[in-house]
Amino acid sequence: MTPNLLLAAIMLINFMLVASSRVSKCIQLAALQGGLLAMVLLLMHDHWPFHVLLMAFSTAAIKGVVIPAMLNRAQDRMKPQREPEPYVGYTLTLVMAAAGTGMAFILARRLPLQPGNLGTLFVPASIMALFTGFLLLTTRKRALLQVVGYLVLENGVYLFSLLLVKQMPLLVETGVLLDLVVGIFVMGIVINHIQTAFDSQDTHRLAHLKD
C-alpha cells in the first residue's frame, strides 16, 4: 500500500487549517495531521523493526496527543474574547495556499530526487506543509494560531526527513521531536506572559511596546 492517499489527506488538512478561524478546530486538525504522519511512517515499511515502531509511536504521542493537549490547555486558560481579524483574510490565505501547492508540485519536479521518490507525494506535501505553516505564522494575529503554524511547518520538515528514514539514525529523529516539544513549551510560556501582560493574545499589540 502506498502512503499517497494519506499524504493527500495531510495536504487537505493544510487547506482546512488555513481556512478555519477557530483556534480549537485548528488544534484538532494539527493533531490529526500529526497522527497521520505517524501512519505514513508505518505505511512506508513492509515489516516494522523496533526503532520504526518506537518512532511512529513517539510521533503519534507527541504530535497527536501531548502538544495538542498543551495547546488546548493554553486555549482553555484564555479569557473568551473577540477573535482578532488576521492580517490577511481567510479567503485570500486559502488562495495563497492553493498557489503554494501548485508551486510545491512544480518545485518537487525540479528537485534531484532518487527515482523511487519521484512518483510519490512526499516532496510536494512537505513543501506545502512548510508553506502553509509559514502562512499561518505570518498572517495570523493570535499567538496560539502562530504556534499551530509552527507545528505545521515542523510537520513539513518531518515529512521531508521521512524520505531519509532508512539512512537517518533514530537519534536524530528523536532529537527533532524533543526539540519540537521544547519549542512549543517555550512558546506556551511566552504566550502565557503575553496573556498576563496584555490581557489578550493578539500579537499585533507587541508592535507598539514601550519600556
Partner 1 sequence: MIRNLVQPALVLLAQMALTLALAPLLPGIVNKVKALFAGRVGPPVFQLYFDLAKLLRKGAVFSRTTTGVFLAGPAAAVAVPFTAALLIPMGAATAPVSFAGDAVVLAYLFGVARFFVVLSALDTGSAFEGMGAAREVTFAVLAEPALFMGLATLARLAGSPSLAPMLTAAGQGWRAAGGPLALVLTAWVIVFLVENCRIPFDDPNTHLELTMIHEAMVLDHSGPPLAAVLYGASLKLWVLGALVVKLCLPLRGTWWIDWPAFLGGMVLLAAGVGVLESIMARLRMRRVSQALIAAVVSGTFGFLLLLLA
Asked if 95 touches partner 1 (CB under 8 A), the answer is: yes
Long-range contacts of 190-198 (CB under 8 A, 24+ apart): 190/143, 191/74, 191/143, 191/144, 191/147, 192/74, 192/77, 194/143, 195/77, 195/78
Give 101 or 201: the residue with its C-beta nearer to partner 1.
101
Query: Least distance from C-beta 116 to partner 1, angstroms?
Result: 15
Based on CB atoms, which residue is closest to partner 1, 12 or 197? 12
Residue 12, interface with partner 1 (CB under 8 A)? yes
Chosen residue from 35, 39, 43, 90 binding partner 1 by CB under 8 A: 90
Residue closer to partner 1, measured from CB, 74 or 108: 108
Residue whose C-alpha cell is 484538532 = 28
Compute how many residues bind partner 1; rule: CB under 8 A: 19
Give Cα 126 distance to the centre of its chain.
10
Check residue 207 and report its DSSP letter.
G
**DSSP state string for 17-50:** HHH---HHHHHHHHHHHHHHHHHHHHHT-SS--H
Residues that bind partner 1 (CB under 8 A): 4-5, 8, 11-12, 15, 19, 90-91, 94-95, 97-98, 101-102, 105, 119, 121, 124
